[in-house]
Amino acid sequence: MVGHISEKTLPAIIFLIGIAISFATGSSGATVSILIPIALPMAAQMGLSLPLIIGAVFGDQSSPISDSIIVASSAAGCSPESHFRTQLPITLSVATMAFISYLLVTTVI
């Protein structure tokens, strides 16, 4: 599998997978627990050092089933759906900038 993935795109791919898992589970801890045993050996074999966060925080702050969304909406006195809708554009813009940064850094350096 390592021969089929470019070392220049691996960090961005792992970042996107981390976003997908964290959004589906609503848990950054679960995402890290799932991806670290898979991503770190791949990165080590390719001579890369991956950031350990790997997009996990995105789902913790953006998933409608995340405890962070539920607690924050409860504290603010609004519905979880309302908080989710206001939070998503912010986290998507940051995730997009991070993804572009991954691509720029790995292709330029």
Q: For the chain, give the mean pLDDT.
A: 86
Neighbours of 46 (CB within 10 A): 15
Residue 49 covered by a domain = yes
Total domains, the chain = 1
Residue 68 covered by a domain = yes
CA–CA gap between residue 7 and residue 106 (Å, rounded): 8
Domain that holds residue 42: 7-108
The conformation of residue 36, written as its DSSP 8-state character, comes to: H
Residue 1 covered by a domain = no
pTM score of the predicted model = 0.82
Residue 103 covered by a domain = yes
What pLDDT score was predicted for residue 14? 87
pLDDT band at 11 (very low <50, low <70, confident <90, very high): confident
What pLDDT score was predicted for residue 3? 62
Residue 73 covered by a domain = yes
What pLDDT score was predicted for residue 96? 93
Task: Answer for the pair 50, 14: CB distance below 8 angstroms, yes or no.
Answer: yes
pLDDT in tens, 59-104: 888 899 999 899 999 999 999 999 999 999 999 999 999 889 888 8
pLDDT band at 50 (very low <50, low <70, confident <90, very high): low
Residue 45 covered by a domain = yes
Compute φ and ψ for 13, nearest 5 degrees. Answer: -65, -45
Residue 33 covered by a domain = yes
Residue 2 covered by a domain = no
